[in-house]
Amino acid sequence: RAIDLGAFRDPALARELIERIASVVGDRELNLMEVCGTHTMSIGRYGFRSIMPPGLHLLSGPGCPVCVTANRDIDHVIALAKLDGIVIATFGDMMRVPGSTSSLAAQKAAGHDVRIVYSPLDAVRLAQDNPGLDVIFVGVGFETTTPTIAATILDAAARGLANFSVMSAHKMTPPALRAIADDPETRIDGFILPGHVSTITGLAPYRFLVDEFSIPGVVTGFEPVDILESILLLAEMARGGKPAIENAYRRGVNAEGNPVARAMVDRVFETCDATWRGLGTLPSSGLAIRDEYARFDARRRFDVEIEPTQEQRGCRCGDVLRGAIAPTSCPLFGRACTPEHPIGPCMVSSEGSCAAYFRYRA
């Protein structure tokens, strides 16, 4: 049955929620963080930061997959792109992300074979159509993306494809939430939890926020009323209610998530430590391809020398991603760094906090 989204965009309901938020927050200081690139864009698009009570701060966390990808991983892909006979297949937003000294766009301009694809299956087709080339798909994303990548690897295995592999830089959301909850420099009073990711994970992986840190969380959707409702629920819990993990996105998420999708991911991937921009190396926060599918693992198939990692000079993406500063506090924001001339990944990706702040002047 089609869902009528009109109710989730109802201006009268939105106004009522905004008034209730103001009355619940009063003159308190509250830090709420979203950890989903689509929420980042929605909050910017609807101008919610500017209409919240002065003490309520909406922070953007590590919800943009391109932004959290470490320079070392980007440098690794760039090193792979330089090999003869290789095609790098990637989603478009990875093209302009700067590594230590280069980007995939620069490698393409230099004559290396880098192609934009719209799904990993396009990369499989590319491999099938070009048996003389090795196609490497750049796997970046959270729990929402990984089931498709796992299905693609299983499909490539079923087809017996020998010239397709994945450079996995996939990450999982809960370890990043743990790192932020545990960060003494960042005080978070509640998390606006990701809608898409939670369709796969369900609610259980977030329980530790309440059990170990007494921080509430609300899973929500992307319409104005969804976001405002999650802010109101978090403000009420932070004001003295019992912290809990609530689901305000029942039309999209059920408490159990999608066990079939998780089982497919488990078949192909195992957890590994992963390095996140801004958060460092977090234990069991990444996904590596299992030994059984090692022939599809570009990290193991191709031996490359990776240049020493350097961070972009002056870029504060790391601090932005852990909510320590707002993008506008970066001295380069809107001056040296704009979407046309991005210096860090948070300005490159449309889901990046700096790009959202710039676009919507939040």
Give the interface with ligand SF4 as residue ranges (CB under 6 A).
Answer: 315-317, 320, 327, 330, 332-333, 337, 343-344, 346-347, 354
Tokens representing 336 are 């040296």
Please give the span between the terminal C-alpha atoms of the chain, in angstroms, as a whole number: 35
* CB of 74 or CB of 237, closer to ligand SF4: 74
- Closest CB to ligand SF4 among residues 120, 352: 352
The phi and psi torsions of 174 (rounded to 5 degrees) equal: -55, -40
Q: The sheet that has 86-90: what strands, in order across it?
A: 114-116, 86-90, 134-139, 164-168
d(CA 133, CA 126): 9
Contact 93, 339 (CB under 8 A): no
DSSP 226-254: HHHHHHHHHHHHHTTSPP-EEES-TTT--
Shortest distance in whole angstroms from residue 258 CB to ligand SF4: 33
Query: What's the min distance (Å) between Cβ of 244 and ligand SF4?
Result: 33
Nearer of residues 40 and 199 to ligand SF4, judged by Cβ:
40
Which residue's CB is nearer to ligand SF4, number 172 or number 326?
326
User: What is residue 206's three-state secondary structure?
Assistant: helix
The count of C-alpha atoms lying within 13 angstroms of the C-alpha of 221, restricted to the half-sphere facing its C-beta, is 16
Least distance (Å) between residue 184 CB and ligand SF4? 22
Distance of closest approach, residue 208 Cβ to ligand SF4, in angstroms: 29
176 and 285 Cβ atoms separated by less than 8 Å: yes
Q: What are phi and psi of 319, to 5 degrees?
A: -70, -35
Cβ 185 to ligand SF4 shortest distance, Å: 16
Q: Pick the closer one to ligand SF4 by CB: 225 or 356.
A: 356
Name the pairing type of β-strands 217-219 and 245-247.
Answer: parallel
Task: Please identify, using beta-carbon distances, which residue of 135 and 337 lies nearer to ligand SF4.
Answer: 337
Residue 219 one-letter amino acid: V
Q: What is the smallest separation between the CB atom of 348 and ligand SF4, expressed in angstroms?
A: 7
Q: Which is nearer to ligand SF4, 1 or 313 (CB)?
A: 313
Instruction: Give me the least distance between CB of 45 and ligand SF4, in Å please.
Output: 19
Q: By beta-carbon distance, which residue lies closest to ligand SF4? A: 344
150 vs 23, 228, 263, 289, CA distance in Å? Answer: 47, 35, 10, 9
